[in-house]
């Protein structure tokens, strides 16, 4: 697990504790490859990955483009705390953004292999999100 420091109200200790709580369970998920906590301004607050070929920094940059103009993607309900799931040829990427009124405005990104249990990863990402927002 790699932890980054950011200027948000979230403390590194808060994120570390939530990550630690779910780290073992997430690493047991079939096909689990990577996880990242991203600030609203696109900075990586924390990350964990099993597969070194995944470039989380690039993934974060690309995801930021999707969320940068929420009005453009209103039909996706991105503003309403939905989970966006991208099914790619070699992986499945989940992006979770909390409800619009939630502070701090963070995002969670999770990656599994195509045959991985992405739904179980989604459930755990929602638990992590709740843990971070409550802490």
Residues 107, 70: Cα–Cα separation, whole Å: 14
The pLDDT assigned to 117 comes to: 95
Q: What is the mean pLDDT of residues 41-69?
A: 72
CATH value at residue 45:
3.30.450.30
Strands annotated E in the chain? 2-3, 32-38, 44-49, 83-87, 91-96, 107-113
Q: What is the mean pLDDT of residues 66-80?
A: 57
58 pLDDT above the threshold of 90:
no
- Provide the pairing of β-strand 91-96 with 83-87: antiparallel
Model pTM?
0.77
Residues 82, 64: Cα–Cα separation, whole Å: 15
62 pLDDT above the threshold of 80:
no
Residues spanned by the domain of 57: 2-134
Rg (C-alpha) for the chain, rounded Å, is: 14
The pLDDT assigned to 130 comes to: 82
- What's the mean pLDDT when you consider all of the chain? 76
Q: What domain count does the chain have?
A: 1
């Amino acid at each position: 697990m790699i932890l980054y420091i950011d200027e948000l109200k979230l403390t590194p200790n808060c994120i570390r504790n939530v990550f630690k709580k779910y780290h073992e369970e997430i690493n047991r998920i079939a096909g689990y490859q990577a996880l990242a906590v991203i600030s609203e301004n696109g900075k990586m607050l924390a990350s964990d990955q099993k597969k070194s070929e995944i470039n989380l920094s690039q993934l974060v940059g690309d995801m930021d483009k999707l969320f940068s103009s929420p009005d453009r993607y209103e039909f996706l309900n991105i503003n309403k705390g939905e989970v966006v799931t991208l099914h790619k040829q070699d992986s499945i990427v989940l992006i979770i953004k909390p409800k619009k009124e939630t502070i701090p405005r963070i995002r969670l990104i999770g990656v599994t292999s195509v045959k991985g249990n992405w739904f179980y990863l989604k459930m755990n990402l929602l638990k992590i999100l709740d843990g971070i927002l409550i802490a």
